[in-house]
Amino acid sequence: MPAFDPRTDYPLGARRPDLVRTPSGLSLGELDLAALRTGRIGSADLRATGETLRRQAEIAAAAGRPQLADSLGRAAELASVPDDVILAVYTALRPRRSTADELDAWAERLEHEHAAPGVAAFVREARVAYAERGLLSHAPTGARR
């Protein structure tokens, strides 16, 4: 199979199904109703992998959309992050929800536990901006109702 070319291989599902895999390693062709009936596939299989999302980021970049590419790059990092962590980080980033230390702690966890350095950097960038604009909480989450 030829190497991935972000300028010509979109849509991946139609043009490069050979490159697309589920998190459990199945190909698109295996995701049929028969497999669903027998329980061979489930909702956990019907998701994009980090690799697929990185390819989509490359496609966006090749199409001249650097910010969309950045966002899809963060999405690639988040692909394997559990739902509850994602919801917690979102809440932590809302205005006046977190102290500077709490945001730093999230950045650490994202970077080291979830291999999401891009998202971690983004959280740190938010922490700096929030500090400047008074959008941090002054009491740790545990001390608030």
Partner 1 sequence: MSVSRRAEARAERELRRETLIEASAELGLVALNGPADPEPSLVLEGGRVVELDGRPEAAFDVIDRFVAAHGIDPGAAAEAAALADGEIARRLVDVDVPREALVRLSAGLTPARLARIAAMLDPVELMFALKKLRARRRPANQAHVTNRKESPALLAADAAEAAARGFAEIETTVGVARYAPLNAIAILAGSQVGRPGVLTQCSVEERRNLQLGIQGLTAYSETLSVYGTEPCFVDGDDTPWSKAFLASAYASRGIKVRFTSGAGSEALMGHAQGCSMLYLEARCLCAVRAAGSQGVQNGGISTVALALALPGGTRAILAENLIAAWLDLEVASGNDAIASHSPIRKTAKLMGQFLPGTDFVTSGYSVMPRYDNMFGGGNYDSDDLDEWLTIQRDWQVDAGIEPLSEEEAVAVRERAARAVQAVFAELEFPEITDEEVALAVTARDSRDLPDRDRAADVAAGDRVLDEGIGGVDVALALDRAGFTDVAEAILGLQRLRVAADTLQTAAIVGPGWAVESAVNDPNDYRGPGSGYRLEGERWKLLRALPHEVDPATLALQDRSGEPKLVVRGEAGAGTQPDEVVIAIGPAFLDRLRETIGGLPHEAVLTAIADGVRAEGARPRIVRVLRSSDVAFIGHDGAALSGSGIAVGLQSKGTAVIHRADLQPLDNLELFGMAPLLTLESYRAIGRNAAAYALAQPVGPVPVELDNFARAKLIVKTTLLHAAETEEIDPGARPLELALELA
Instruction: For the CB of residue 108, give the shortest distance to partner 1 in the complex, in Å.
Output: 16
- Range list of H helices, the chain: 12-15, 33-37, 50-62, 66-78, 83-93, 100-112, 117-133
CB-based contacts of 2: which residues, under 8 Å, 6+ apart? none
Residue numbers at the binding site for partner 1 (CB under 8 A): 10-14, 17, 20, 22, 28, 31-33, 36-37, 42-43, 45-48, 52-53, 56, 59-60, 63-72, 74-79, 81, 83, 86-87, 89-91, 93-96, 119, 122-123, 125-126, 129-130, 132-133, 135
Of 2 and 12, which CB lies nearer to partner 1 in the complex structure?
A: 12
Of 46 and 101, which CB lies nearer to partner 1 in the complex structure?
A: 46
Instruction: For the CB of residue 115, give the shortest distance to partner 1 in the complex, in Å.
Output: 13
φ, ψ for residue 96, nearest 5 deg: 60, 30
**Tokens matching residue 111:** 């970077």
Instruction: For the CB of residue 125, give the shortest distance to partner 1 in the complex, in Å.
Output: 7
Burial of 107 (0-12, 13-18, 19+ CB in 10 A): buried
Angle (CA) 50-9-49 rounded to 5° is 15
Instruction: For the CB of residue 112, give the shortest distance to partner 1 in the complex, in Å.
Output: 18
Of 115 and 129, which CB lies nearer to partner 1 in the complex structure?
A: 129
Q: Strand pairing partners for 21?
A: 27
Instruction: For the CB of residue 44, give the shortest distance to partner 1 in the complex, in Å.
Output: 10
